[in-house]
Amino acid sequence: MRPCLIYFLLFLAFNRLYGQNPLVVKDSLSQIQWVNSQYEKMTLEERVGQLFMVSIASNQSSQQIDGFKKLVKDHSLGGIIFSNGGPVRQAQITNELQSISKIPLLIGMDAEWGLAMRLDSTYAFPWNMTLGAIADNAIVEKVGKQIGKHAKRLGVHINFAPDIDINTNPKNPIIGNRSFGENREVVTEKGIAFMKGLESAGVLSTGKHFPGHGDTATDSHKSLPIIPFSRKRLDSLELYPYQKIIDSGLSSVMVAHLEVPALELKEGLPSSLSEQIISGILRDEMGFEGLVFTDALNMKGASEFGSEGEVALKAFYAGNDILLMPENILEAKEKLLKQYEKGRITEERLSASVKKILMAKYKVGLNNYQPIDLKNLYEDLNSLENDLVYEEAIENAITVVKNRFDLLGIRNLHNKKIAYVKLGDASNDAFLKRLNKYTKVTQVNAGDIASLKSKLTDYNLIIVGHHKSNESPWKAYKFTNKELTWLKELADLRTSNLILSVFAKPYALSDIDSFQNIDAVVMSYQNSDLAQQKTAELIFGAIPAKGKLPVTAHSEFPANSGVSTKPLKRLGYSFPEKVGLSSKRLSKVDTLVQHGLDSLMFPGAQILVARKGKVIYNKSFGKPTYTSESNVTEEHIYDLASLTKILSTLPQVMRMEEDDKIDLSNTFEELVPDYSDTEIKNVTVLKALSHYGRLPAWIPFYVRTLDKNRKPSKEFYRTSLAPGFSTKVADNLYLTDAYNDSIYNRIGRQDLKSNRYRYSDVPYYVMKKYIEDTYHQRLDTLNNEFLYERIGATHTTYNPLDQFPKNKIVPSEEDKYYRYQTVQGYVHDMGAAMQGGVGGHAGLFSNANDVAKIMQMYLQNGYYGGNRFFESRTVEKFNKCYFCDKNVRRGVGFDKPQLEKSGPTCGCVSRKSFGHSGFTGTYTWADPEEEIVYVFLSNRTYPSASNTLLVKSGLRTRIQQAIYDAILN
């Protein structure tokens, strides 16, 4: 036969074999020529050597590695399957082995959920059971692609994945979480999606464990499992996903060690050694022409069926192409060579397997082999992209299987007192920390159930977390008997609602007798930090529930169970790229803040950035003071100074406007009748809050209360609480209660200034008085009830020493002119201090996370967390610049972008944006067009308010510019 005809026939065979596979190279004729050329160059021993893939671990000794080098060099092995170790060491060994191999080695790994299945310092993606809960198969494909990218970067050519076993047996000891589920359609769809993702990255896929390892309680590593079902059942279930995925272009199949009487008549013969199953069913009936791998031949399910060499020989006879991990490769190879010499292995049979192996090597680029680049290997395998893929997967997987009373996401935080009870033996830190981002959640511990129940009597909502190891899918997942008893006792506490959140395999639910008194059940599948964090977000309605159970977890929760929930528009937490920002560009914020620290602009700071409802940057810098031993954390709270205006007083004014208790046209005379005979009587709310009311910037009320030595006068102050002196302005300093009237009298005596823009604190004294007189409650109480408790702003308060330890409150100044002490836990502003710490213009303390919640509420037109605080038209009304034509940029209460070149922003924000700055070094801004919230909190006034470096540097707005520069176009 002429060579050209031979090439043509091989070309047709190639197209049939690889025509649907994403890895097929365009120049297929070149592939065939390369395959034939390589085959013709090889000796018989080298050809037989190609059939073997041996196991090596990068954490083995150098002596052991040298042994593998000799094996590769002397016996022309076809491939290596890497096991445990580390990525850099594996890459080095791979390069060494490839350099001495006559024909490049096919490198394989079991990396079902990523390289971390075998290697340290690499990324673990969700297990198949978790992926099986995801409705959108495109997400599963993304996971497969990311795993494929990692494999390719590490020089791995074939991943023994996906596992397409249908796990219909909850007691399966070896598959379980490695399966996409118990439904054949789900397993098939996910398997195809994963395969496509893997191969789109340039890595070969493997369907396993043929003909189906899902319905057995036996581990084939230890003995031979029996699959006792009829051929009809096998065709309709176990074999179903294999046929579909083969038709979709699967590169290879791994055959398991299973006894399947319906497919193999010989009793006790493993499927991996069965010609009827491999050649008859897999190849002839199902039409698979790709590579066929044995499962590891050193497993008990196969190794006990003959001597070391005989098992490999029988596997080859059965139709396998690659003999994986034989117990004794030299004996196995010798057996095959002898059978070839005797004519029992034909040249046609040998060349069929070897040429398929060579074709696979060409497909993955080994015809043009390049060593693995070790530079930045660790960084490439641990990039942010991994977290983005994992996050999307876990958000779509978490499954709510019960949600009585629509308890999830949790609403009405103001009437919830929430306890958290931990079950399981793994970490819960990420879960509890993220829960506390939304409201106060207290972990309650006890040594016995009676004590626990007693401690829980004050709580009306209990969240129970069942946390089990996330190290591997084979770890224990069940509740202990004690935990089951405790869970029942807690569920029977009908004074509270109960949410059960399970960070383990779905089958953990099967041991719970009844869910009658458990109000909500969340299945999170894994106990990774991201799974914990996203579950907390789901519980509080920051993200919706989308997942469906991939298996039957309980008689009450069959496969495909899942309750959808809608998000409540609460802030979530994610990565910059999730919302169109660049992490790399955003890192400039770190540099800018560090410059501020180095330049002594402030001792410490908190910076937060949110976009599209996701907090994507929330960092703390420096220390509370320059001499502090501890660092600033997210839990520290700052004196917000004038941010109080828009975070405390303005919400009440907006509320009153909606309730027709105030109008922007109202005058001071109408609000405070005592001002009817004053010059300020006709100042309107609109002009006053727009800072166009001709009022003075501020009034130093405290000065008149000092004696001739400029110390607090004994006429006005006491050093301890006394009748008529209950207004505490600092430690051991109490102002006479009568002085509050003096403050308002003095305001009434003010002259109006020139008719121009003048920023003023004075309107907020008036607003505070009117609000409190109208509602007959203090401003702090009103805001706690109306806003802070409902929005979950648990770190937002006036007079923080009443609620927080002093060391969690950042000091604002070493006061040497009024109080003569460290101002810590008391409002820095003197006028607000003289009002008992509760001012309309100052006095509020908070952290960046809480400030962001309130700003996000404004950004969302008055809606947050399932509550409508204001109508959209109200937010729009107060966020309007009414006097822009008078060169007054301000809205009603809100600061607005500058009208000329310089001003309160970077100049990069939209006209719809709004915010405010504070004297102590605080700043917050929200931009509806870009959906950005930015919070900067610092104590630039410590140790002295005369430090104006922060203001002069424009650092806060330079950071704002860096945020906008980080937007990806």
**The pTM is what?**
0.94
**pLDDT value at position 301?**
67
134 contact partners, CB below 8 Å, separation of at least 6: 140, 190, 393, 396, 397, 546, 547
Average pLDDT in the 947-957 region?
Answer: 96
CB of 208 within 8 A of CB of 295? yes
| 865: preceding bond cis by omega (within 30 degrees) | no
- ∠ CA 629-635-637, rounded to 5°: 85
pLDDT confidence bin for 334, thresholds 50/70/90: very high
**pLDDT value at position 9?**
47
Interatomic CA distance for residues 910 and 107, integer angstroms: 54
**pLDDT value at position 224?**
84
Specify the residue for token string 């049939």. Answer: 16
CB of 732 within 8 A of CB of 722? no
Interatomic CA distance for residues 860 and 179, integer angstroms: 41
% of the chain surpassing 90 pLDDT: 91
**pLDDT value at position 6?**
46
pLDDT confidence bin for 876, thresholds 50/70/90: very high
Average pLDDT in the 842-858 region?
Answer: 98
Above 90 in pLDDT, residue 382? yes
Q: For residue range 790-833, list pLDDT tens digits in order.
A: 999 999 999 999 999 999 999 999 999 999 999 999 999 999 99
**pLDDT value at position 855?**
98
Q: Between the CA of residue 351 and those of 1, 241, 284, what are the distances in Å?
A: 18, 29, 18
**Residue 802's closest CA among 785, 835, 786, 825?**
825
User: What region does 904 belong to: left with phi over 0, alpha with psi -120 to 50, or beta?
Assistant: alpha
Average pLDDT in the 190-210 region?
Answer: 97
pLDDT confidence bin for 298, thresholds 50/70/90: confident
pLDDT confidence bin for 23, thresholds 50/70/90: low
% of the chain surpassing 70 pLDDT: 97
**pLDDT value at position 628?**
96
Q: What is the 3-state secondary structure (H, E, C) of 881-903?
A: CCCHHHCCCCCCCCECCCCCCCC
Q: For residue range 263-273, list pLDDT tens digits in order.
A: 999 999 999 99
- ∠ CA 543-544-550, rounded to 5°: 120
DSSP codes, 136-178: -HHHHHHHHHHHHHHHHHTT--EE---B------TT-SSSGGG
**pLDDT value at position 309?**
83
Average pLDDT in the 935-952 region?
Answer: 97
CB of 216 within 8 A of CB of 258? yes
Lowest mean pLDDT among 239-253, 289-303, 427-441, 645-659: 289-303
Average pLDDT in the 761-774 region?
Answer: 97
Residues pairing with 609 in the sheet: 617, 934
Interatomic CA distance for residues 449 and 447, integer angstroms: 7
Above 70 in pLDDT, residue 523? yes
Calculate the average pLDDT of the chain. 94
pLDDT confidence bin for 22, thresholds 50/70/90: very low
Q: For residue range 344-379, list pLDDT tens digits in order.
A: 999 999 999 999 999 999 999 999 999 999 999 999
Above 90 in pLDDT, residue 581? yes
**CB neighbourhood size of 674 (10 A):** 16
**pLDDT value at position 675?**
96
Looking at the chain, how many residues does it have? 969
**pLDDT value at position 216?**
86
pLDDT confidence bin for 401, thresholds 50/70/90: very high
**pLDDT value at position 7?**
47
Q: For residue range 633-653, list pLDDT tens digits in order.
A: 999 999 999 999 999 999 999
Above 50 in pLDDT, residue 4? no
**pLDDT value at position 390?**
98
**pLDDT value at position 303?**
63
Is the alpha carbon torsion for 522, 524, 525, 529 positive or negative? negative
Q: For residue range 889-933, list pLDDT tens digits in order.
A: 999 999 999 998 889 999 999 999 999 999 999 999 999 999 999
Average pLDDT in the 375-400 region?
Answer: 97
